[in-house]
Structures are given as structure tokens and as C-alpha cells.
Amino acid sequence: MNKLSKNRWNIIFVTIALLAIGLACGGGAPKAEDEKQAGPEFVGAWTSKDGSSITIRSDGSADYKIGGTSVTGGKALVSEKEKTLRVAMLGMGSPMKIDKAPANGEMTIDGVVYKKDGGSTSSSDTKLEIPSNDKLQTLVKTTMLDFNDAIQSGDFSDFHKKTAKVWRDTSSPDEMKEAFKTMVDNKDSFDLKKAISSLDATFSPAPSIGKTADIDAILVKGSYPTKPKTLHFDLKYAMDDGTLKLVGINISTKNE
């Protein structure tokens, strides 16, 4: 077989592969004109009683597994006009109806109730439980990427809104910026998105439940195998309005 023929078959193979992806994502479904990246209220790992799951990250990337269909590394898009959520891959993906927008750690999509990791319809009497490893990976990476957005932009307003009320009440966005001034001033050296997006964290010691400022919190310490220095984190999450929210963060790098 000559080189031209080989290239022709390669093109056909790629086309078939793309078609398969398109079918899996529901290619051909109408796209709403006002679609935009899903807002922070959608960010998190969501699961339903039937085993369906939707994971949406702060950078807009998303995964889902519903029935026999699954997508990894898609884009979460929301239409306020049509009230739909769509996880698109290569621009394709069927819209799902938002019956109930995210609130108090719960949302209803296409008639199915999804609960956010650590979320509940109750906010004060929810038992604090350590999430599974997969959900903890999503929670920590979302926190790190949200923090990175604040460092890179120098604006902590959005990051401030996502922290627990007890932290919001004691620190303003400007005070947060001042506390992390060294990172903001050297933001090119602290591009966490570039450093950890493709990495999984190692939790050590194992996550535990303890106290921080007299508040029950999940204590999460660990690291990402970044180069040339290892990125270490010390995060604390408390239950706030039925959802796990950040009450403390410490990041450092070490030669190992």
C-alpha cells in the first residue's frame, strides 16, 4: 500500500472516530444561542440515586455518566433562556433540562435529582463525612483552580464568594489578596492550572475530621507531583448551607 493510500485510510479512520464521539454525545442536537460556561453554582461532583453522575470543574470542563452514555473532558454549557445544561464534546452534545437549578447542594436535571458531594437540603444538621477519593480529588482540584484564577487575575471576589460564610465574614476579597500578596506578585511562578490540571493528588496523611477555629472541618493534606518542586497543600472544609466549603488554605512548594 502506497503512502497516499495509507493517508487516505488514516483520514477515514479519524472521521469514523469523530463520528462515534458525535453519536455518543448526541450530535445534531440544537444549540441554544445564549449558551455560556456553567457558573460556579454548578461546579462540583453530582450523583443521583440511580448511579448517574455529572462532574463540572471551575474551568468549565466536565464529565458525565448517565445510563450507558459517558463523556470525559467535555465542556459544561448552560442556557438560561432554554434552562438547559449541555456537556459538549467537539461542539456536540444533547441539552438536558434544568428542572431545578443548583441550591443547597441539590439540583434536578431531566427529572433526576442530583446531590453534590457533601451537599444536602439541610444545612445545620448534616453529618460531616469524608468524601470518597474520586470526589475528594474533584473537590481539591476545583479549590486549587479557583484559587489559581484569583492569583492570576489579582481579583479574589469570586474566590471569596465560594468560601464558607465563617471565612467570608472575617475576611474581605482585598484582605485575601493581601494575605496571598507574594503569590499574586509572582503569579507566573504559581500557575497552578498549568501545573496540576493533568495530575492527581496524593493525600497524606489520610483526610480526617477535626477542629479549626472551633469549627468541625474536614482536614485535607497532600501534594501534587509537580516539577521541579512538589506542590503541597493543606486545606480545610466545613459544611456551609449543605455544601462543603473552604475555611482554610495553605500552599507551598518543596524540593523532594
Question: For residue 62, what is the domain's CATH number?
Answer: 2.40.128
The reply to whether 106 and 193 lie within a common domain is no
Dist CA 204 CA 172 (whole Å): 31
The reply to whether 83 and 141 lie within a common domain is no
Q: What percentage of the chain has pLDDT greater than the value 70? A: 84
pLDDT band at 120 (very low <50, low <70, confident <90, very high): very low
Residue at which a domain ends, from 69, 85, 116:
116
| pLDDT computed for residue 5 by the predictor | 44
Residue 122 has pLDDT above 60, yes or no: no
The reply to whether 173 and 99 lie within a common domain is no
Give the residue from 220, 186, 223 showing the smallest Cα distance to 201: 223
C-alpha distance across the termini of the chain, in Å? 51
Contact 64, 53 (CB under 8 A): yes
Range of the domain at 148: 133-254
Whether 4 maps to a domain, the answer reads no
- How many domains in the chain? 2
Give the residue from 230, 228, 248, 229 showing the smallest Cα distance to 238: 248
Residue type, 115: K
The reply to whether 110 and 153 lie within a common domain is no
Percentage helix, strand, coil for the chain under 3-state DSSP, each rounded to 5: 30, 35, 35
The reply to whether 74 and 137 lie within a common domain is no
The reply to whether 48 and 151 lie within a common domain is no
Q: The C-alpha cell of 82 is what?
A: 432554554
Q: pLDDT tens digit string along 104-117? A: 889 999 999 999 87
Whats the size of the chain, residue-wise?
256
Q: What is the pTM of this model?
A: 0.54
Whether 12 maps to a domain, the answer reads no
Can you tell me whether residue 236 is helix, strand or coil? strand
The reply to whether 112 and 137 lie within a common domain is no
The reply to whether 92 and 150 lie within a common domain is no
CATH of the domain at 164: 3.10.450.630
